[in-house]
Amino acid sequence: MKKLLLFGSFAFQYLLNAQNNVYSYGFDSAFPGNWTMTNQSLPPSPTSGLWKKASYTTPLANPLVFGSQHASDIPRGQAGGNNSFAVVGSNSIANIGDISNWLISPAINVKDGDVVSFFTRKGTSRMVDRPDRLEVRYSAALTTVNPTPMGVGSFTGLGISVNPNLQSGFVYPRNWTKYEFVITGVGSNPKPVKFGFRYFVFGGGPSGGNSDLIGIDTFSINRNQLSVSESPYKLEFSISPNPVSDFLSIKSEAKIKNVDVFDMSGRKMTVQISDDRIEVKSLQPGNYMISITTNEGVTSKMFIKK
């Protein structure tokens, strides 16, 4: 038994060592010129509504922002020093309306199986929650978004949605939390893809019931040299069959706490879940995302309903 455990540990370490970093950006400095900011909210804020790198100075106007404890405490990102994160919030819009505010990465060469990760949190410590939502989308067409709040343009790939149903009660985390998803639908050979962080909130704005303040940090894309089929160990979780007609099975080494299914617009679907099986008969044919929550965090995969 000891030999088996040692071998398992060695193989796991080998997989970790075989992981290559494709892209990293920690928001420690101003956005590079190849990042794009575009506010498609309706009506957009005429002044300070774009995504920006945090630039808090003391004394803080609000001493309880992004984990600061008093007016002389500059907020810190998930990694790095003071102000080392990006921020966006309810001032995306002039008064009240629908927010769709984008921060778009440069073109990054990725392929199916690459793992995208980032950290995010709410910036407020207030007791009453004004719900926030963040989508991370991707596009191989390398175009920008449609100039409407609901339009996504070529960013039809939905990697993950944080608080997709705009639930209150601090479903959007108040501490830096890691989210990740696996790239699908791009192909087995690397091709240039842009990623869009979309702050997407209905009924938001300074006078709205939703939208507050969020930050993102430590955006990273990694590639495993060994594929899942080459390794005796599963990475995160697996689903089968894919494409699927009736029932989708889940296998995970970590204990599953929650399972959700979303369509590509981020709308949560009603499905029957029993242990490690999901009945998808009622879904219309098309692409969907399954999001699984474990003690390790949240991971998503895309599947196709036939």
What are the extents of the domains in the chain? Answer: 19-224, 228-305
pLDDT per residue rounded down to tens, the chain (306 residues): 333 333 333 333 333 445 689 999 999 999 999 999 999 998 777 666 899 999 999 999 887 899 888 889 899 999 878 999 999 999 999 889 999 999 999 999 999 889 999 999 999 877 889 999 999 999 998 887 876 778 899 999 999 999 999 999 999 999 999 999 889 888 889 999 999 999 999 999 999 999 999 999 999 999 975 433 333 333 467 899 988 999 999 888 888 888 888 876 567 788 888 878 899 999 988 878 888 888 777 777 888 888
The pLDDT value recorded for residue 22 is 94
**What is the C-alpha separation between 293 and 178, in angstroms, rounded?**
11
Residue found by looking up tokens 């100039």 in the block: 147
- Pick from 95, 35, 51, 29: nearest CA to 215: 51
Task: Please report which helix (H) or strand (E) contains residue 215, including its range.
Answer: strand 213-224
Phi and psi angles of residue 136, each rounded to the nearest 5 degrees, phi first = -115, 115
The pLDDT value recorded for residue 229 is 39
Q: Contact 305/285 with Cβ under 8 angstroms?
A: yes
Query: Which CATH class, in words, describes the domain spanning 19-224?
Result: mainly beta
Tokens of 11: 């193989």
The pLDDT value recorded for residue 18 is 53
CATH number for the region 228-305 comes to 2.60.40.10
- Pick from 114, 111, 109: nearest CA to 224: 114
| Alpha-carbon separation of residue 265 from 112, 121, 261, 306 (angstroms) | 21, 22, 11, 18
